[in-house]
Chains A and B, each alone.
Chain A
Amino acid sequence: AQSVTQPDIHITVSEGASLELRCNYSYGATPYLFWYVQSPGQGLQLLLKYFSGDTLVQGIKGFEAEFKRSQSSFNLRKPSVHWSDAAEYFCAYAGGTSYGKLTFGQGTILTVHP
């Protein structure tokens, strides 16, 4: 079965530092990949998505992600983190036998120190 793995449950960075959140998927064909952010008690906001084409995807709030087929990865990056970026981040996948449905990773909680 297809799956999405976020290896890091919790990451702490200092404000202004760079950030990379890891996401790995297991699926043979090109997947549809998403990154969402969730603040406590809130719904999910789409940061960016990859369907095809350029493997470096730009999103909102200064985030970007790179699709690497050889590594089955779709890592999220931001060059300089702001305190307001503290939240939980979910990588999600759609495609294959789960066509039309999103499968989420376990989530990564980001803490930002001043």
Chain B
Amino acid sequence: GAVVSQHPSWVICKSGTSVKIECRSLDFQATTMFWYRQFPKQSLMLMATSNEGSKATYEQGVEKDKFLINHASLTLSTLTVTSAHPEDSSFYICSASLGGQGLGYGYTFGSGTRLTVV
């Protein structure tokens, strides 16, 4: 149980275009989801916290106009990279809290999306 499906697993796009990444909780309701970015050979950096039905909370230094997050339902959060540039190329991973904001249940992660902007 507690599976998070992330799609697509990889995408190549042209500079200046937008790309949408989906994160779905398959067998549970995820009131809170998190979006991370991982550069090669580096750790995961939290970009934003997505709460169903409300605006996402972005971490310091993350451009909210470039990385649009929508969490319109209890099973779906999307990250849209707008006007993508080569420096946006990275590995993006979503995560869902299994107990809302409660820590007692842990977190489950999607399989990640490799974005390459050419």
Contacts and interface: CB of A to CB of B under 8 A. Distances in A.
A101 B112 contact: no
B44 A101 contact: no
A43 B49 contact: no
B112 A42 contact: yes
B34 to A, nearest CB: 7
Interface residues of A, number: 23
Contacts, number: 54
B115 interface: no
Contacts of B107: 34, 46, 102
B111 A101 contact: no
Interface residues of B, number: 24
Nearest to A107: B43
A46 B43 contact: no
B55 to A, nearest CB: 16
B25 to A, nearest CB: 14
Interface stretch (B13-21, B61-69, B96-104): B96-104
Contacts of A105: 43
B101 A100 contact: yes
A36 B39 CA distance: 17
B86 interface: no
Interface in A39-67: 41-46, 49, 51
